[in-house]
């Protein structure tokens, strides 16, 4: 791809960078940037069979591959121009998006549960957020919002919007759009995304004029605004266009009509095709960011969002230069792919932790209202039966550092000293089968003839459901807990 103006393009395409920062686990050291002139790629831990022979990169003047139009696609969505490969940014979803086809291809109502367009594709160029946060350094980046300020009691936030922002149909973006969105979500509680949380926290939204509004909270919450409207890439609070949505039933509105230019967005790209095989977003040269002098147009003329079935397929696409950015690869897949395509880049130049510090941890969740799991000693026994180092080494080849606290790599260095006394007291990361057994016996359990824990004639049976993108740890965790005396079966679930 041609070299982009990195400074101008960074925040326009920031969700790509954040995607790998959030999903790509790695060390706490500063991430090393990819070379400017080479396609960025994600990375990530554990062993896979090496991809097949190297495929030649796409030629510079070769048009980007597009999915064949289907008969049921509107004519306006089929009529897309040819864009050279070197002006097209090809990407796929987060690692929890492994699938062979896109779903909801004619429904872009991202406020409905299960609709993940805003998370995986729309936020790359069609949807813009009020503010973004650079999680590497904590910098707040105003975008379609210009500033915000809390009152002294931390229960009211005054917000100023950027002047000149427009929807893709030319209608100005205003504070009325924000108020309408918040009111709409709360009115549809608990059925819309975020609706229960917003109904609990937000008392009202008052509009002063087109560029000024205030959010009144039910109680003080100094983190509310950043968490809900200030991260941008991760909280997916997409403001909707009042002049379109006020005429629709928000719970049934599909927000898709190519003839009308729906879905609308304020971003530099518009959706021109949506099929199970591909979503195509083309750059709008009339984007408000250029009109107002806020920034230049982003470099790519097209964003091509494709589905990827699994880690192996992603590796093959990276080798062939048919994918520029996407899911973090398992460590073995990344190293094999990099050996065949030296342009492949991760956030760290050396392994075994190729990825950037992660914003999330892998967690084992138990329903505390279910029998057995409602006993704290049983939960501790399960925890003591887990060998985190073994999971890291076997499932991820040492590419993912083990953690025992519910804190991401971003905050662990800052928080650990403040929690050291708690860590020392509970030692939650310890693997100790004797202590695990002692906890079960304390809770009144004993082992049957097969070596499994039982109580009152009932065996502790566990179904360990792990989505496909986390499957490397499934068999190992299953074996560990079986050894600890639990009748557990690993089941690979759908992406979650």
Judge whether 409 lies within some domain. yes
Distance CA 35, CA 80 (A): 31
Mean pLDDT of all residues in 301-323? 94
228, 290: one domain: no
Tell me: pLDDT of 21 over 60.
Answer: no
Q: For position 2, what pLDDT does the model report?
A: 36
Q: What is the CA radius of gyration of the chain?
A: 24
Tell me: pLDDT of 51 over 60.
Answer: no
135, 113: one domain: no
Q: For position 55, what pLDDT does the model report?
A: 39
Confidence bin at 132 (pLDDT 50/70/90): very high
| CATH value at residue 216 | 3.90.76.10
Judge whether 257 lies within some domain. no
Picking from 243, 276, 303, the residue at the C-terminal end of a domain is 243
Name every residue whose Cβ is closer than 8 Å to that of residue 17 and which is 6 or more positions away in sequence. Answer: 10, 40
Q: For position 340, what pLDDT does the model report?
A: 96
116, 159: one domain: no
Confidence bin at 494 (pLDDT 50/70/90): low
Confidence bin at 357 (pLDDT 50/70/90): confident
284, 180: one domain: no
Judge whether 252 lies within some domain. no
Q: For position 247, what pLDDT does the model report?
A: 94
Name residue, tokens 């864009």.
Answer: 83
Residues of the chain with pLDDT > 90, as a percent, come to 62
Picking from 192, 208, 243, the residue at the C-terminal end of a domain is 243
DSSP 398-411: T-S----SS--HHH
Q: For position 17, what pLDDT does the model report?
A: 34
Q: For position 239, what pLDDT does the model report?
A: 97
Higher pLDDT residue, 310 or 184?
Answer: 184
239, 135: one domain: yes
Tell me: pLDDT of 36 over 60.
Answer: no
Cα 119 from chain centroid (whole Å):
6
Q: For position 159, what pLDDT does the model report?
A: 98
Strand 156-161 versus strand 131-134 pairing type = unpaired
Average pLDDT, the chain: 84
Q: For position 410, what pLDDT does the model report?
A: 65
Judge whether 141 lies within some domain. yes
Least confident of 28-32, 188-192, 315-319, 485-489: 28-32
Tell me: pLDDT of 191 over 90.
Answer: yes
Q: For position 62, what pLDDT does the model report?
A: 47
389, 409: one domain: yes
Mean pLDDT of all residues in 64-88? 65
Neighbours of 322 (CB within 10 A): 17
Confidence bin at 496 (pLDDT 50/70/90): very low
Tell me: pLDDT of 206 over 70.
Answer: yes
The highest-confidence range among 25-34, 96-105, 209-218, by mean pLDDT, is 209-218
Confidence bin at 469 (pLDDT 50/70/90): confident
Least confident of 321-335, 373-387, 441-455: 321-335
Q: Which residues of 152-171 are buried (b: 16+ CB within 10 A; e: fewer)?
A: eeebbbebbbbeebbbbeee
Domain residues for 234? 131-243
15, 74: one domain: yes
Judge whether 368 lies within some domain. no
Judge whether 50 lies within some domain. yes
Number of structural domains the chain divides into: 3
Q: For position 93, what pLDDT does the model report?
A: 87
Tell me: pLDDT of 61 over 70.
Answer: no
Judge whether 248 lies within some domain. no
Least confident of 75-79, 238-242, 275-279, 384-388: 75-79
Mean pLDDT of all residues in 271-282? 96
Judge whether 329 lies within some domain. yes
Distance CA 208, CA 364 (A): 46
Tell me: pLDDT of 87 over 50.
Answer: yes
Q: For position 423, what pLDDT does the model report?
A: 84
Neighbours of 372 (CB within 10 A): 21
236, 137: one domain: yes
108, 171: one domain: no
Distance CA 71, CA 65 (A): 19
318, 227: one domain: no
Mean pLDDT of all residues in 302-328? 93
Single pTM value for the model: 0.78
Tell me: pLDDT of 40 over 60.
Answer: no
210, 289: one domain: no
475, 387: one domain: yes
Q: Which phi-psi region, left, alpha or beta, contains residue 158 (left: φ > 0; alpha: ψ -120 to 50)?
A: beta
The highest-confidence range among 29-33, 48-52, 456-460, by mean pLDDT, is 456-460
| CATH value at residue 17 | 3.40.190
Q: For position 495, what pLDDT does the model report?
A: 52
């Amino acid at each position: 791809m041609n070299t982009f103006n990195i400074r101008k393009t960074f925040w326009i395409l920031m969700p790509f960078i954040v995607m790998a920062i959030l999903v790509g686990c790695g060390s706490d050291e500063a991430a090393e940037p990819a070379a400017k002139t080479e396609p960025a790629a994600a990375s990530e831990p554990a062993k896979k069979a090496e991809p097949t022979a190297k495929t030649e990169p796409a030629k510079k003047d070769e048009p980007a591959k597009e999915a064949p139009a289907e008969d049921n696609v509107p004519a306006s969505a089929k009529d897309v121009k040819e864009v050279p490969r070197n002006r097209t940014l090809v990407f796929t979803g987060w690692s929890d998006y492994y699938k062979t086809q896109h779903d909801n291809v004619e429904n872009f109502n991202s406020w409905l549960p299960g609709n993940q367009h805003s998370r995986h594709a729309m936020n790359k160029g069609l949807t813009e957020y009020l503010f973004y946060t650079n999680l590497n350094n904590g910098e707040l980046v105003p975008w379609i919002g210009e500033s915000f300020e809390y009152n002294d009691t931390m229960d009211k936030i005054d917000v100023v919007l950027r002047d000149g922002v427009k929807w893709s149909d030319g209608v100005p973006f205003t504070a009325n759009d924000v108020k309408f969105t918040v009111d709409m979500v709360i009115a549809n509680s608990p059925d819309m995304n975020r609706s229960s949380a917003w109904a609990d926290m937000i008392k009202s939204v008052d509009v002063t004029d087109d560029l000024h509004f205030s959010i009144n909270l039910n109680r003080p919450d100094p983190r509310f605004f950043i968490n809900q409207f200030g991260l941008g890439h991760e909280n997916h609070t997409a403001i909707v266009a009042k002049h379109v949505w006020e005429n629709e039933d928000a719970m049934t509105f599909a927000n898709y009509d190519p003839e009308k230019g729906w879905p609308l967005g304020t971003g530099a790209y518009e959706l021109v095709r949506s099929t199970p095989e591909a979503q195509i977003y083309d750059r709008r040269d009339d984007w408000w960011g250029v009109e107002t002098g806020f920034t230049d147009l982003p470099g790519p003329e097209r964003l091509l969002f494709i589905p990827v079935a699994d880690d192996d397929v992603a590796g093959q696409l990276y080798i062939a230069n048919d994918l520029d950015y996407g899911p973090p690869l398992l460590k073995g897949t990344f190293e094999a792919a990099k050996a065949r395509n030296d342009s492949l880049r991760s956030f760290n130049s050396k392994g075994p932790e190729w990825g950037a510090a992660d914003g999330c941890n892998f967690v084992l969740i138990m329903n505390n209202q279910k029998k057995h799991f409602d006993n704290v000693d049983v939960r501790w026994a399960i925890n003591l039966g887990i060998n985190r180092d073994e999971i890291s080494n076997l499932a991820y080849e040492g590419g993912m550092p083990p953690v025992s606290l519910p804190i991401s790599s971003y905050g662990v260095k800052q928080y650990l000293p403040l929690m050291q006394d708690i860590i020392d007291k509970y030692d939650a990361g310890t693997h100790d089968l004797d202590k695990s057994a002692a906890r079960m016996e304390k809770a009144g359990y004993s082992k049957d003839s097969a070596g499994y824990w039982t109580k009152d004639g009932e065996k502790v049976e566990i179904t360990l459901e792990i989505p496909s993108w986390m499957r490397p740890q499934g068999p190992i965790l299953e074996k560990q807990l079986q050894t600890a005396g639990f009748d557990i079966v690993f089941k690979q679930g759908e992406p979650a």
